[in-house]
Amino acid sequence: MKFRCERDTLVEALGAAGRAVANRGGALPVLAGVRAELSGNHLKLTGSDLELTIEVEIEVAGERDGIAVLPSRIASDLVRSLGDPRVEVAVEGDEANITAGRFESSLRLLPADEFPRLAMPADEAVTLAAKDFAAALHQVVPAASADDARPILTGVLMAAEAGGLRLVATDSYRLAVRDLPGTTVLREGQSVLVPSRALKELERLLGSAEEITLRLGEREATFEVGGIRLTTRLIEGEFPNYRGLIPASHPNRLTVGREALVEAVRRVKLMAREPNTPVRLAMSTDGLELVAITQDVGQAHEQLDADYVGEELTVAFNPDYLLSGIEVTPGDEITLDTVDAQKPAVIRSAGAQEFLYLLMPVRVS
């Protein structure tokens, strides 16, 4: 295998494919590498840990076709460090010779015949608007759990819902639900559970793309963006009945400016210094007061103008979870619907109903 290409193009491709490379113990040693396959002027780079696979295709000046597995991290660091923008890669035996200007190096390869055969994507495909899908991922994915002890909660539910697509994630402390009306991806009643890790990488890849192609197989989901293909193994199991978590009615409603609330929570939570210290929201017809107190450190209060309908109520929340929900709720104003100090609260945009963020309160004395 031998080819020439632009340094920055190769760095970007190695970096994207390398984000799927196995970095956990127990994986096949060859999965620490990126598989490079050259055919004519087309170079395909593949990184995988068997759960997540990212393939990147770029155009190069090819001289000799071939296949090699480059150690991912050192290859990426090496190419990124090059001073000359033109790079040549030539594979001879079990080494790759990388040259740029006066720089020369040889890199020991991993055995290409040990790189596993990966599943082919499904034939049936649907195309989505990348901007809307990226916005939905940004709102929902952070609410998924990072605890592998509960694998079901590390996934994002994608379900057919009322002529559109619904994305749902929860870590049992919060719940995010986003509807994409008119986006038909699944059959009526069908749902799949996609690992949140894969969707985080997908959001990163979407960038300024206009379209994204989705292919759903029995065990894998494949997303194609430009010259990049991301394939992830689906999570098996039953997602919790999230509908039962959402209160049917809320006697109390607060309406407040979103940006003012974001800034106030950021300031007040500076005094929530201990891990379990909440931010209290005291709601009344006079408006909203935010309070955080940490013993031996200090306290912070801030009053905000707000419209409130209901009984006077003080509810305490984890400040990071609260801020996370407010920041991704669209619109100039948001509503906070509550039942009492112990039941889940619901955050929505005052002008749009496609997104819902449910948050469990923190019990305080």
Q: Which of residues 187 and 337 earns the better pLDDT score?
A: 337
Q: According to the model, what pLDDT value does residue 19 have?
A: 95
Question: Once rounded to an integer, what is the mean pLDDT over residues 314-339?
Answer: 96
Q: According to the model, what pLDDT value does residue 186 have?
A: 74
Q: Give the side-chain half-sphere CA count within 13 A for 45.
A: 26
pLDDT for residue 317 is more than 90: yes
Domains belonging to the chain, first-starting first, are: 2-114 (3.10.150.10), 126-243 (3.10.150.10), 247-359 (3.10.150.10)
**What DSSP character marks residue 238?**
P
336 to 100, 219, 250, 331: CA distances (angstroms): 58, 38, 10, 13
SS3 content of the chain, % helix, strand, coil (to 5): 25, 45, 35
pLDDT for residue 173 is more than 70: yes
Q: Tens digits of per-residue pLDDT, 132-141?
A: 999 999 999 9
What are the strands of the beta sheet with 298-304, ordered from one edge?
Answer: 298-304, 287-294, 279-284, 313-317
The dihedrals phi and psi of 145, each to the nearest 5 degrees, come to -75, 150
In percent, how much of the chain has pLDDT > 70?
Answer: 99
pLDDT for residue 4 is more than 60: yes
Q: According to the model, what pLDDT value does residue 125 have?
A: 85
Q: Tens digits of per-residue pLDDT, 71-95?
A: 999 999 999 999 999 999 999 999 9
Q: Rounded CA gap, 13 and 18, in Å?
A: 8
294: β partners: 298
| Residue 18 CB partners (closer than 8 Å, separation 6+) | 34, 47, 72, 73, 76
**Residue in 107, 114, 76, 74 with CA at minimum distance from that of residue 92:** 107
Judge if pTM exceeds 0.85. Answer: yes
Q: According to the model, what pLDDT value does residue 183 have?
A: 77
pLDDT for residue 184 is more than 80: no
pLDDT for residue 26 is more than 70: no
Q: Rounded CA gap, 242 and 245, in Å?
A: 5
Question: Once rounded to an integer, what is the mean pLDDT over residues 329-345?
Answer: 95
Q: Are 357 and 329 in contact (CB under 8 A)?
A: yes
Confidence of residue 24 (pLDDT cuts 50, 70, 90): low
- Give the chain's count of helices (H) and strands (E): 6, 26
Burial 175-189 (b: 16+ CB within 10 A, else e): bbbbbbeebebbeee
43: β partners: 38, 58
Question: What's the distance, Cα to Cα, between the start and end of the chain in Å?
Answer: 69
Query: Looking at 99-113, 240-254, 307-321, which range is the least confident one?
Result: 240-254
Q: Are 152 and 233 in contact (CB under 8 A)?
A: no
pLDDT for residue 120 is more than 90: no
Q: Are strands 174-181 and 355-359 parallel, antiparallel or unpaired?
A: antiparallel
Q: According to the model, what pLDDT value does residue 119 have?
A: 79
Tokens encoding 339: 């039942």
